[in-house]
Chains A and B, each alone.
Chain A
């Protein structure tokens, strides 16, 4: 029932004949190279993907001045043909979703060629494999680009395919290369190619170069040479083998160390998420004795606020998230104050009743969001400055969004600390939580302070929601997935204690990530929970217990 696989050979033959025929036919119309170039482009319209690959190779070899532009256009989905006369064109810019007419560029002269309505044009499509081939092919052009970063990218692409032609190209380039990073990269690639050389001294020299590398593919190749990978006996020369073995040992040692660093980073980033979601709860619970089951829904509100801000600022994708942070804080804080005034106010001193009432509130909030926004996920884009990875070296890469979230958590924590310890409001909050009667006697309006505290805790939850929107689904169930974890962190760290939440969250995250490679995700989580249960037995009030007589009431 599958599409029958047509013989590539037969097609190739047909193609060659056609090309020959066409080029002869068009001899009078244009210069021969232009004609064959256009003909090849024309063939791209109808043939199958494997045959497109052949044509791309031909175009690259043709040496035609516009070949690079045409192939780049094909890679970027800018190669189209006109339906009526079947002529191939490049687009000036990638087609926008709602464009009605598109500006065309002549493939040979690369000059503007008017425009055509969108319905009259059909795109020449690619698939994954073709895109990969195109990138490698275009890399050869990019190797001589003035921009060092582009050259580096080109070297990386060429490395995927170190045939003779590419190696020759690289050797030519390394002499003229000025940028040190690119030069080092080319040297590594050449050394990799040299490992296949028949001369043992050449191979030894290559291993000396590669000894300092940290790359996985270098490690793989050296393992093959050393005879340590499964199935291979390694190199014939014992000296080469020994050199390769020592190189493999060294590289593996370094890579393992960096892999531990990576795991540590994973743990810190998971921990920072836990800290963010728990810190608001620590405040509302510690300071006010209120168990807020709607905490998750306040985070959800923060995430949805991020989504709305993004929708409201469609052209400012880069800063919309920064705008969303205060917006989410406000929205969640206002909702928190509303909940406090209408529901919590009547339930002070009864923490377990607040649990039930806020559970009801959480149901209402979930349904509210579901009715307004439907149950579907909402997409929140990551701004460009937050996406991608920071390549510390070949063995360690750190994703930007996680890095920023760790930094963000620390900032939020510091800000909260400053508010609580250095501002008037913070002073009042601490006073009311330590000794309400005395605080009132000193003239502090405890009802306002209560509302503000709850608002502060809820606002932090909203801000946590902004961070969560970058990591996971934004839907009405967002809160439910995190509420249990936030309770665990608060209880572990000691109720009402900011440092407790920080240390507790971070340590839980790190332990979880350390265990995961060995035990799997579920067992790691279960282990963390069991440790928590046992830990509470030894320190019944958490890491940093609240002190003083007031704590007996809890």
Chain B
């Protein structure tokens, strides 16, 4: 049972307050600017703007899930894009079934790519996806099961540090290769696209986009509160102990593997939900979402924003993706420079991220460079 008194208490977590406040503001202002303000006005937010903000919020949720396990438990997962994409594919399958006979080949049962690949009937794993509830269930269950299976073996074998990170990469890479295969039944390289509607509502209408955006903001807020609750609870303390000195925590009698496993599964579910919210807004899901580089980018968002602060991760996601959108439009030929330099500078000079800069703690840490003598005994360093 999470200890609510701890997190409501006089820790006066104003960072959270401001984050949630900003989130609420966005959830209200942006829809209003789209629906209420006329199109000609400079304050109007077009459908493009709605999609963009929605995308940022989904990414913020994904960054949140990574920060939860990395910042608070020391598990660096370089494969979270896998869970994100699995959630996305789950909702994508539902949306594909919804197209029905409005597809290119007019087949009410089979999506276009199956007709074209000469499938005679729907593969077994597609059954049930014409029900929204089932898709909702799958988008939670599938990432959870995968995370559980993976984590069970990995944590039990005490795979840590960079080895763990690399095998999470191997996992997402293998999934990417698998989903790229046209024979798998997931649309191959083209993925799923050309969605028509969700729950009967047209995906392209502004009202639906607004609803999705608000819903994403609400889910983000709720997830944030949930993460806060976990982190502030006793379990959260144990996790921080694991992060700081795993062997010590184990010797103190805590079942380190179980803690790691459950937080990993929870984080995977969050990532899956983020993916499921992402796909209806973007309109396409494709196996390149599984690519290892995407996962590394998520970690970068968290690092840029500030690891171990939760709202920092969300802020980092927003900032970096905004920078990417901005640079690919304004300096399309040289935006790699801009982004690369940003990463190098942030890692070098802002080890606590943007949030650290803003809260002034970064200044104290900036002068600390390589320790002259590496510790013989494991020091409480953050991995």
Contacts and interface: CB of A to CB of B under 8 A. Distances in A.
Interface in A337-387: 343, 345-353, 355-357, 359-364, 366-368, 370-371
Interface string B250-277: 0000000000000000000000000000
B159 A363 contact: no
B293 interface: yes
B303 interface: yes
Interface stretch (B99-107, B134-142, B335-343): B335-343
A359 B343 contact: yes
Nearest to B374: A436
Contact of B292 (A484, A538, A553): A484
A470 to B, nearest CB: 25
B334 A542 contact: no
B313 to A, nearest CB: 14
Contacts of A359: 296, 300, 343
Nearest to A495: B162
A255 interface: no
Contacts of A350: 351, 381-383
B171 A549 contact: no
Contacts, number: 151
A345 B334 contact: no
A437 B371 CA distance: 11
A364 B336 contact: yes
Contacts of B299: 355-356
A16 interface: no
A540 B154 CA distance: 8
A553 B382 CA distance: 11
Contact of B370 (A349, A370, A549): A349
A205 interface: no
Interface class of chain A by DSSP: helix
Contacts of B344: 343, 357, 360-361, 364
A537 B153 contact: yes
Give the bracket for the number of chain B residues in contact with chain A.
35 or more
Contacts of B165: 352
A351 B161 contact: yes
B340 A363 contact: yes
Interface residues of A, number: 56
Given A347-B347, A364-B344, A532-B170, A356 B300 contact: yes
Contact of A348 (B161, B334, B343, B371): B371
Given A357-B348, A536-B163, A436 B343 contact: no
Contacts of A135: none
Contacts of A549: 376
Interface in B15-62: none
B68 interface: no
Given A356-B300, A366-B336, A495-B162, A537 B174 contact: no
A355 B298 CA distance: 13
Contact of A553 (B173, B177, B370, B378): B378
Interface string B214-254: 00000000000000000000000000000000010000000
Contacts of B342: 360
A85 to B, nearest CB: 55
B357 interface: no
A360 B341 contact: yes
A533 B371 CA distance: 33
A530 interface: yes
A357 B167 CA distance: 21
Contacts of A552: 247, 378
B170 A529 contact: yes
Interface in B51-85: 76
Contact of A522 (B181, B300, B382): B181
A526 interface: yes
Interface in B170-201: 170-171, 173-174, 177-178, 180-181
B150 to A, nearest CB: 8
A360 B344 CA distance: 5
B173 A437 contact: no
Nearest to B337: A367
A542 B371 CA distance: 28
Interface string B345-383: 001100100000000000000000111011110100111
B347 A353 contact: yes
A533 B343 contact: no
A293 interface: yes
Nearest to A362: B340
B1 to A, nearest CB: 33
B12 interface: no
B305 to A, nearest CB: 12
A487 B169 contact: yes
Contacts of A17: none
B180 A522 contact: yes
B11 interface: no
A533 B163 contact: no
A480 B348 contact: no
B178 A351 contact: no
A31 interface: no
Contacts of A488: 166, 170
Contacts of B369: 345-346, 348
B118 interface: no
Interface string A460-500: 00000000000000000000100010011011000100000
B157 interface: yes
A534 interface: yes
The CB with the most chain A CB atoms within 10 A, among B150, B166, B173, B342, is that of: B166
Nearest to B333: A371
Interface of B: 76, 150, 153-154, 156-163, 165-167, 169-171, 173-174, 177-178, 180-181, 247, 292-293, 296, 299-300, 303, 333-334, 336-337, 339-344, 347-348, 351, 369-371, 373-376, 378, 381-383
Interface of A: 285, 291, 293, 343, 345-353, 355-357, 359-364, 366-368, 370-371, 436-437, 440, 480, 484, 487-488, 490-491, 495, 522-523, 525-526, 529-530, 532-534, 536-538, 540-542, 549, 552-554
Pairs of residues from A and B, 4 with the lowest C-beta to C-beta distance, nearest first: A360-B343, A363-B340, A367-B336, A348-B370
Given A357-B344, A357-B347, A536-B157, 7 more contacts: A345-B370, A346-B348, A347-B347, A522-B177, A536-B159, A536-B167, A538-B157
